[in-house]
Structure 1
Amino acid sequence: MKEIKSILAAYDRLNYDTQHAALATVVRVEGSSYRRTGARMLVVDDGTWVGGISGGCLEGDALKKARLAIARSKPSLVTYDTTEDDAHQIGVGLGCNGIIDVLLTPVLPDDPHSPISVLQEVVADRRQTNVLLTITKLEGELNGFEMGHIIRYDDRENLRGLGDRSFVERLEQEIQLVLNTRKSAAVSLVLDDGRELEVFAEFLPPELHVIIMGHQYDVFPLVKVIKEAGWRATIVANPQKIHREVAALVSAVVSPEDFSPTLIDDFSAVILMSHDYKTDKSNLPLVLDAPYIGLLGPRVRAERIFTELREDGILISQETGERIFAPVGLDIGAITPEEIALSMVAEIRSVFSQRKGGMLRERSSTIHER
């Protein structure tokens, strides 16, 4: 989401009378690639760009092809194959060993189906999970939809312009699979008239939201790391105890008496770090529905809290206990507040990615699923 916001901010700064732009989007990856599907780069016809579609090896060539797409006012799909020993292929010798499809779409300010227009709607609805359908292959047009257009899926009504009831049902089945697995996918279907429609169905969750319950000095490095990661942060503490530099980095500061569990959703993490035993103990029952709960301090402290809550009649089920990480953070030997912040953020990322957080060299399979 951070990259999308940067792209939208750059687009808003453009002078539409003198500047034109295209959006490059990675819509398919086969094998290894530095960036995955959904990576984006805004290219301006003056040669500048924001975002990225690789580790730097493809941007230069994509810039040239994007400017060509702008000049033609027509989207194009470019395939980069770094698996073959071909001296004419961009990326050879870099060891990427992958095939990457990049969709280059000229952006028109008055086009409601343009990728920029749809991404602006997505960012406006900050806590909504989206499936974006980007048309990557279509000969001609279909009820106003063309290659390069994006459809933001809400329900079946969004899809009626693409085909009859049977076609929409097949497409919706693919969308539900994306929602259930939380994984983007390439979808290929045949239209009633025999034309092939290929769509990049992108699972786009809201930014991770970290709710920090505490106000001590170690909150500052934590919110800085969260900000750099492009996540959202909320602090639950007395606003008068929050330094203005900290307040400037977070989305909100909520007084403890105003805190509500409704702030928590499927993409929220909670860290209890008040450095006060009674406060953490009273806060824990309020956040037991969070997908991730981190508790600062030694294991014996957490076990004492669990025991006392059980004696008070508040039972923590096995399923809930698996979502509580105490002590919080990955075991990286963190000592300073900055290093501890890094370990906590890394653990949150690993949990939401359903990974163990170990060393990549000890991983038996590929870094990314293929």
Structure 2
Amino acid sequence: MKELEDIVKSYYAACRQGIKTALATVVHVEGSAYRQPGAKMLVTENGTLTGAISGGCLEGDALRKAQLVMMQQQPMLVTYDTNDEDDAKLGVGLGCNGIIHILLEPVNTEDPLNAVAMLEEIISHRAPAVLVTLFTLHRRKGPQPGTCLVLTANGKMHHCIPDQQLQNAIATDAHHALQSRSSFTKTYLSTGNDYTTHTSYIPPAPQLLVAGAGNDVIPLVKMAALLGWHTIVVDGRPGYATAARFPEATQVLMARPAQALSQLQTDQYTAAVLMTHNYNYDLALLAQLLPLPLAYIGVLGPVKKLQRMLDELAENNISITRQQRARIHGPAGLDLGAETAEEIALSVISEIKSVLSATAATSLREKTTAIHSREQQVILQQHL
């Protein structure tokens, strides 16, 4: 989500200067690649890049092609093949043993449904959304419509698909992607042009609620902000809960536990960390957090502290279900040997990221499968 937010911000900065832009999107990958389908990068005519479509090996060549796209105002599909000697001569040198298809599309500022306008629709709401990119995969000179549809969780849809039959099919698949929280690539076969879409499910940015405004919270908020997470700092001490101490935070609240949550909107993409170093404050807030559908609740400190809190909640007739208990992590963080505030912040952020991604936090060298899921590489087909 941070990538999309940065792209929208850079786009409007370019618009204010009258600078043309193009959007590059990874639409399909065969084999291994640094970035997966859906990754985006905004290119300006003066060479500014926002976002990324690779680890740096494709950006230079993509910039040159994007400048041609801006000049001609016509989308272009570009394919990079690591096994192609011509790519090696160009200096691309992917080294990923994969084939990467990139769609470059000019962004027309006069079009209210241009690609960046659709990205803006996604980031303007804290809710999941689906974005569809339409292209012709096996014919580079075939029609390349580009970003064509956005569907938000409230059912609001914007599209620019001229063919009604194709529009109906893509819209149906977009609703399926939103409900199943899945992304996929699909080709629609017809007697005319055979179009392929990449349908991306895009969850909202993670939201991090930190109870506590001590010095050890500062690096945690900085790391979360660097990742593009929306961070909220809550503390009952007026001298600590200030925007000056946490300039990277989305929101800073000076509130008691009973008042804090009434001012916030939490969801399944929200993680909370209790680190006030005030036992009673943490306990009171934990009691309020338990019924909420949070993805993660971290309790800083020894396991004995957490057990004491759970025992006191039980004594006060606050029952904890198995699902609620599974969301509580105490001591919070991964075992990284952390000692300093910065190292502890890294440990906690890493555990939260693992939970949000539903992955096991293990060394990549221990994996026996591909780093990224290959499900999106399978192209589904539908006859219209």
1:274 aligns to 2:272 (yes or no): no
CA contact (8 A) 2:149 2:160 kept: no
What is the alpha-carbon distance in structure 2 between the residues aligned to residue 93 and residue 17 of structure 1? 34
Structure 1 counterpart of 2:232, one-letter code: T
User: Is 169-178 or 19-28 further displaced after alignment?
Assistant: 169-178
Q: Which moved more, 1:193-202 or 1:155-164?
A: 155-164
Report how far residue 74 of structure 1 moved: 0.5
What do you get for the CA RMSD once the two structures are aligned? 2.5
Written as runs of structure 1 = structure 2, the 5 A alignment for 1:343-354 is 343-354=347-358
1:299 lines up with 2:303 in the alignment: yes
Farther-moved stretch of structure 1 (254-263 vs 279-288): 254-263
Shift of 1:158: 4.8
Write the letter of the residue equivalent to 2:150: R
What number of residue pairs does the alignment pair up?
Answer: 361
The aligned counterpart of 1:357 is 361
TM-fit CA distance, 1:134: 1.6
In the TM superposition, 1:336-347 aligns within 5 A as 336-347=340-351
**Residue 308 of structure 1 pairs with residue 312 of structure 2:** yes
CA distance in 2: counterparts of 1:363 and 1:75, whole angstroms = 38
Shifted more, 27-36 versus 170-179: the winner is 170-179
Inter-partner Cα distance in structure 1 for 2:179 and 2:91: 34
Task: For residue 133 of structure 1, report the CA deviation from its aligned partner.
Answer: 1.3
Matched residue SS, 1:247: coil
The within-5 A match list for 1:213-252 is 213-238=211-236, 239-252=238-251
CA distance in 2, matches of 1:21, 1:12: 10
Q: Distance in 2 between matches of 1:157 and 1:44?
A: 28
Q: Distance in 1 between matches of 2:87 and 2:134?
A: 28
CA distance 1:116–1:331, change in 2 (3 Å): same
Instruction: Give 1:207's aligned residue.
Output: 205
Distance 1:351 1:361 in 2: 20
Q: Per-residue deviation at 1:297?
A: 0.8
Q: 1:94 to 1:189 in 2, by over 3 A?
A: closer
The whole-number CA distance in structure 2 between the counterparts of 1:304 and 1:108 is 60
Deviation readout 1:323-347 (Å, 9 max, x if unpaired): 1111110110100010000111111
Does the CA-based 8 Å contact 2:42-2:50 persist in structure 1?
yes
TM-score (norm 2): 0.86
Q: Secondary structure at the match of 1:14?
A: helix
Encode CA deviations 1:83-118: one digit per residue, 9 max, x unaligned. Answer: x25244567754211121111000111112211111
Q: Which residue of 2 aligns with 1:135?
A: 134
Q: Which moved more, 1:32-41 or 1:102-111?
A: 32-41
For residue 188 of structure 2, what is the amino acid of its counterpart?
Answer: L
CA 1:15–1:205 in structure 2 vs 1: closer, same or farther (change >3 Å)?
closer
Residue in 2 that maps onto 1:61: 61
Report the counterpart of residue 120 of structure 2 in structure 1. Answer: 120
SS at match of 1:74: coil
State the alpha-carbon separation in 1 of the partners of residues 29 and 84 from structure 2.
18
Q: Report the counterpart of residue 260 of structure 1 in structure 2.
A: 261
The TM-score with structure 1 as length reference comes to 0.89
SS of aligned partner of 1:200: strand
Deviation at 1:263, TM superposition (A): 1.7
Change (3 A) 1:298 1:345: same
CA distance in 1, matches of 2:20, 2:35: 25
Moved more, 13-22 or 355-364: 13-22
The residue that corresponds to 1:142 in the other structure is none
SS of the aligned residue for 1:322 comes to helix
Rounded to whole Å, the distance in 2 between the matches of 1:160 and 1:110 is 14
What is the aligned partner in structure 2 of residue 71 from structure 1? 71
Q: 1:321 aligns with which of 325, 332, 338?
A: 325
Task: Return the match for 1:284 from 279, 283, 286.
Answer: 286
- Is the CA contact 1:114–1:148 (under 8 Å) kept in the aligned structure 2? no
Cα deviation per residue 1:294-348 (whole Å; 9 max; x = unaligned)?
1111111111111121121111111111111111101101000100001111111
Unaligned runs of 5+ in 2: 375-384
Instruction: Provide the residue aligned with 2:382 in structure 1.
Output: none
- 1:13-37 CA distance string (max 9 Å, x none): 2257753111111112222111122
Provide the secondary structure at the position in 2 that maps to 1:78: strand
Aligned-residue offset at 1:124: 2.0
| Post-superposition offset of 1:221 | 0.9
The structure showing larger relative contact order (alpha-carbon pairs under 8 Å, at least 6 residues apart) is 2
Q: Which residue of 2 aligns with 1:332?
A: 336
Letter in 2 for 1:34: Y
